[in-house]
Each structure stands twice: as C-alpha cells, then as structure tokens.
Amino acid sequence: MEARRRENKLKLADESVKASDALPLPLYLTNAFFFTLFFSVVYFLLLRWREKIRNSTPLHVVTVSDIAAVLTFVASFIYLLGFFGIGFVQSIIIPRAPLEDVTDDEDEISDFDRLMVKEDSPKIPCAAAAPKSDYLKIEKIEVTDEQDEEIVKSVVEGKIPSYALESKLGDCRRAAAIRREALQRITGKSLEGLPLNGFDYESILGQCCEMPVGYVQIPVGIAGPLLLDEHEYSVPMATTEGCLVASTNRGCKAIYASGGATSSLYRDAMTRAPVVRFPSAKRAAELKLFLEDPLNFETLSMVFNSSSRFGRLQSIKCAIAGKNLYIRFSCSTGDAMGMNMVSKGVQNTLDFLNNQFPDMDVMGISGNYCSDKKPAAVNWIEGRGKSVVCEAVITGDVVKKVLKTDVASLVELNMLKNLTGSAMAGALGGFNAHASNIVSAIYIATGQDPAQNIESSHCITMMEAVNDGKDLHVSVTMPCIEVGTVGGGTQLASQSACLNLLGVKGANKEAPGSNARLLATIVAGAVLAGELSLMSAIAAGQLVKSHMKYNRSNKDVASMKS
Ligand code: ADP
C-alpha cells in the first residue's frame, strides 16, 4: 500500500511537469495570461452587477458580453484551480519531503525514489531482477548511465544510504557498481584491480556479504589424487601461498604410492554454550546437576531436537563459575556446519528450562564456553564439529624416493618440533607443522567459514617407525573440524563447484550428514599429506630452497644461487 501511495504521488508530480511541457507558451506567460483574464473578467462582472442594481435591471437579463464574460471566468477559474488548487490540496494531504531531509528510505520520498520512477526500474528483489547468466554479460565497469550518475552523487552526499542500494534498485550488480563508484569518490582511492564483473551478486544478497563493491580473486590449485579410504579425491585449495599446493600434492603422492590413508570420524557435534545466572551459586549448581543427570537427557533432547529436522542433541556439559553456569550443548547437525541449528535448539531448551528454573536469567546465548573462533582448551579436549583421526603407513622406499628423507629423521624431527617444541611454546592444539595452511585453503575453496580455521586446525601429528624401523606410521588427530556442505558460503557458484569436485555438494538426501562427514575426513587426509611433505622438506633441509623456487621471481632465485 505504502509503495503504491508513493508511486502515485510520484506519478502526479511527474505528470504536472509533463503538462506544462505541452503548453504552447512558456509556463509563466500562460499563468500570467490566465491570471489577467480571470481578474479582468471578475472586474467586468462586478461592474455589470453594480450597473444592474443601479438601473434595477433583473440579474437574469444578460447580454452577449455578459455570457462571454461568465464563460471566460469559468474557463480561467478551472485552469487556475487545476494548476494551483490541486497541487496545493495534494501538498497538504501528501507532504513531499525536501530532498536534503531524505535519510530514511522507508518513510520518505527520496531522491532515489524519484530517479527510480524516472528510470522505471522495477523495485523487486535482486533474485528476481535478471536471469542469473546476465551478470556475466555485463562488461562495463564505469558508472556512465545518467541516472546512475545521479544516484552515485546522492550516495556521496549521504542522501541515499549505501546499504539500501540493492533493495531499491532491484539489481545487485548495478548496486555494487554504484556503491563502488561512490566509495572511490568519497575516499579518493582507486579500486582498480578489484574486479566487479563476473560475479553473481544476487547469490550473496542477505546471506553472505553486505554492501559488496567487487570480489577478491584467490587462485584454486588442486592437490591429489588423495587416496583416502580407498577413494581418490582431487582436493581444491584456494591460496596465494606459493609451495602450499605443490607440497600437499607431494604428500598425496607419497600416500598414494604407499597404498593410501585411512580415516575415522569418531565424534560429530557442533556446540553452543549459553551463560545463565542465578541468585545464588547453590541454584546454579542445582541446574548443573539437573542437566547432567542421565535421567533428564531424554526430555531435554526431545525439547532440543524439536527445533530442527537434522539437529540431534548429543550431550550437555556444564561449567560453573559462582552464580553463573555455562551450558555446553553438543549436537549433530546433518550436512550443515550447524551454528544456526544448534543455536535454535539451545533457545528452545532455555525456554523450557525457564519454566522449571524461573530464577534463571539467560545472560547470553553464547557464553564463550562453546567456543567459536577463539583458541580454547575446551575444544581441544572435548572436540567441536567433526573429530577425525587419519593415518597412513608410508613405506621406507617412498619416504626416500618421494619425500627425499628417511624414516628416522622424520620421527626425530616430529618429536622435537611438533611435540616437544609445541609443548615448550605452550601450544593449544598446535602440535603440528602447518595444519592451518591446508585447512584454510580448503575452507576458502569450499565455502566454509574461514574464521573457524582457529579451532579446526587443532591437530596433533604423530610419527612412528614401524615394521622394524623400515616404514613410517604417520597420523593426524583433529578434534574440531567444523565443516558443512549446505548453508553459508557453500551454495555460491565457485565454492559449490569445489564441493562438487569432491563429490560432497549440498545435502545428502539418503544419509543426511554423510556429505559433511566425508568432507571432514578429506580435510584430515589433506592435512596428513601436508604434514608429511613439510616435515620431510624440513628434515631434508629443503625448506629454504623450495620457497626460493616458488615464492621468489626467477631473477631472485638466480641471484641467490650466484
Ligand atoms: P548452519 O546451521 O551451518 O548455520 P544453515 O542454518 O545456514 O546452516 O543451513 C542449514 C539449513 O539447511 C537448515 O535450514 C536445514 O534444515 C537445511 N538442510 C537441508 N538438508 C540438510 C541436511 N542434509 N543437513 C543439514 N541441514 C540441511
């Protein structure tokens, strides 16, 4: 209704302008003419009226000039009423905001609305605005269109909020182009090099990124085949770190040549831990005992699970701090990474608990005992997301030929670096060489939340000589791999293509959750490959050499050699 009312107002405003354009004389001359006519005729009729009263002539006795005067009076009155009267009445009923005052896109007719009506662009959601393939066809980057130029100016002047461009224009790519141009003018800095075209801005609207001005390009390399649990995977890695893909690829080669790696997923539970407060520590302890009593688990899980088809409560663990209780809910989440899902279940359970513990105050749905995107021992010890252990036996031959080192050196280095060295550093889950390198690269390629790389990279790498010291047993244990194949960035075109490459795109209809679980094992398998290769490079003293080769220009390498 509001939108229609505003549209009508705008149409009326536009029509008045068009009517004046159609006049034979300029507007001010036409108005002067009708004003003169109107007042002359009124003057003439008043004189005639006075004359008739003086001569006692009946008023209905009229001459031709009287009739002509009355007709002219009516005509000029209608013109003046039409021109000023309606506009005046309209301005009282629907006051038009001065352009300078426009800040709220919902309540006022803005500059922006005016431009939009002129352009006749539909105010429809971006997703419905244009066929998906269209964004690829648009080549121009500069804002050249006249209306766009006006909108850019309004954004620069603060008359149009930048965040409202998508909803108002109904064209996400155009909104990004206008915002980008406005940003360049406001900051005086060029965005040349940050591409605008070739991206589907509709796909991120309302879920992945607000106020886009372009996108960052990150190359995707492929490591593999990774032979894991008797399947081969080509692992996509989005990175700008030279050596990383090559190194992981070498690890994959070593694993492949040794018969492959084996993985086991031993826990699947995303966590969320609200903080609640009681009037006394005693009451907080009472809730802890209630929540951890196995007899209450069934009821609590029924309440928790009712919020989702896929979320299933696994356990509840509480930590008490005086009057405050931190309740860590763990829940399997199907193919979703699960933060939204677990939060909904937690909210349901807190509502239920409030009936039984009316003196419980929910201080925050997240109390950092979860613990999301922060290094915390609770994750390292209890796990978060998917917990996976992955192992392989690399034959001595392969260690020598592919990894260019030997079993004893690798075992010794692992003990000194990944175990003792990390212990000396007071590491928290960082008992590895570079798990986060592989985790981050796969996360970015497959649309995971890269911030969760913090706990997802918790990993202990173990190496042991087996088969009378001839071969190497290597394993990575990763308790917090937080991945999903639905939701978040996973549905974007590029990321979804990478998931597709791994055969884990989207929701698994037959066995919900198995796509996300498989992805977690692939992450661990790739980390195993990465650990093997980097550890071997260090053991063989190759680290500096290979970095020089891949990270520096040939010129630099040549000068290093000389
Ligand atoms: P997250 O919980 O990781 O933040 P979202 O809430 O964005 O994820 O996405 C999960 C959504 O996907 C939920 O609405 C859920 O109902 C839906 N969904 C469809 N199929 C599956 C599946 N196999 N596993 C998990 N969620 C699924």
Q: How many CB atoms lie within 10 A of CB 140?
A: 10
- AA identity, residue 269: A
Q: How many residues does this entry show for the chain?
A: 562
Residues 6+ apart with CB under 8 A from 304: 311, 313, 329, 331, 345, 346, 348, 349
Task: List active site positions.
Answer: 241, 373, 449, 547
pLDDT at 85: 61
For residue 61, CA distances in Å to 46, 65, 73, 334 come to 15, 12, 18, 95
Centroid of ligand 1 to alpha carbon of 263 (angstroms):
25
Residue tagged 């492959």 (tokens)? 260
Give the pLDDT confidence score for residue 377 in this predicted structure: 98
Angle 349-337-256 from CA coordinates, rounded to 5°: 145
Whole-number CA gyration radius for the chain: 36
Q: Is 562 helix (H, G, I), strand (E, B) or coil?
A: coil
Name the strand (E) or helix (H) holding 15: helix 2-21
Whether 366 contacts 372, CB under 8 Å? yes
pLDDT computed for residue 348 by the predictor: 97
The residue whose C-alpha atom lies closest to atom 6 belonging to ligand 1 is 340
Cα of 438 vs its chain's centroid, Å: 22
What pairing do the DSSP bridges indicate for beta strands 430-431 and 459-466?
A: parallel
For residue 63, the model assigns a pLDDT of: 85
Distance in Å, CA 143 to ligand 1 centroid: 38
In a mutational test of the pocket of ligand 1, which residue from 272, 337, 486 has the highest number of ligand atoms less than 8 Å from its CB? 486
The HSE-up count of residue 116 (CA atoms within 13 Å, CB side) is: 26
Q: Write down the pLDDT at residue 9.
A: 40
Q: For residue range 293-308, list pLDDT tens digits in order.
A: 999 999 999 999 999 9
CA dist 513 to 23, 302, 356, 357, 403, Å? Answer: 71, 20, 33, 34, 35
Tokens for 215, please give them.
Answer: 């996108």
Q: Which of 181, 198, 196, 258 minimizes the C-alpha distance to 227? A: 258
Q: How far is the CA of 337 from the centre of ligand 1 (A)?
A: 8
Report how far residue 50's alpha carbon sits from residue 39's, in angstroms, rounded to the nearest whole number.
Answer: 17
Pocket test for ligand 1, best of 268, 305, 310, 448 (most atoms within 8 A of CB): 310
Tell me if 172 CB under 6 Å of ligand 1.
no
Residues in the chain predicted with pLDDT less than 70, given as ranges, are: 1-28, 83-144, 542-547, 551-562
Question: Is the CB of 208 inside a 6 Å radius of any atom of ligand 1?
Answer: no
> Is residue 281 within 8 Å of residue 318, measured between CB atoms?
no
Q: From the DSSP assignment, how many helices (H) and strands (E) are in the chain?
A: 24, 11
Could you tell me the distance, in angstroms and rounded to a whole number, from the CA of residue 336 to the centre of ligand 1?
5
Give the DSSP H/E element, type plus range, for residue 444.
Answer: helix 435-446
Q: Is the CB of 336 under 6 A from ligand 1?
A: yes
265 Cβ closer than 6 Å to some ligand 1 atom: no
- Rounded Cα–Cα distance for residues 450 and 489 (Å): 10
Give backbone dihedrals phi and psi of 278, rounded to 5 degrees, phi first: -120, 165
Ligand 1 atom with the smallest distance to the CA of 515 is 23
What is the distance in A from the centroid of ligand 1 to the CA of 485?
9
DSSP string, 155-187: HHTTSS-GGGHHHHHS-HHHHHHHHHHHHHHHH
Q: Which two tokens stand for residue 430?
A: 């960082």
Burial of 244 (0-12, 13-18, 19+ CB in 10 A): buried
CA atoms within 13 A on the CB side of 436: 11
The protein residue with its alpha carbon nearest to ligand 1, atom 1, reads: 338
Residue 135 CA to ligand 1 center (angstroms) comes to 28
338 Cβ inside 6 Å of ligand 1? yes
Closest CA to 333 of 318, 313, 317, 349: 313
Give Cα 379 distance to the centre of its chain. Answer: 25
Token pair, residue 59, equals: 């008023």
Residue of the nearest CA to atom 20 in ligand 1? 507
**pLDDT value at residue 30:** 78
Query: Is 310 a pocket residue for ligand 1 (Cβ < 6 Å)?
Result: yes
Which residue is associated with the tokens 């008490």?
A: 320
**SS3 assignment, position 19:** helix
Regarding the beta carbon of 514 and ligand 1, being less than 6 Å apart is answered: no
Q: Contact, 480 vs 379, CB < 8 A?
A: yes
| Nearest-atom index, ligand 1, CA of 341 | 2
Q: Reduced to 3 DSSP states, what percent helix, strand and coil does the chain have, rounded to the nearest 5?
A: 55, 15, 30
Dihedral over alpha carbons 220, 225, 227, 228 (to 10 degrees)? 20
Structure token pair of residue 117: 């009506």
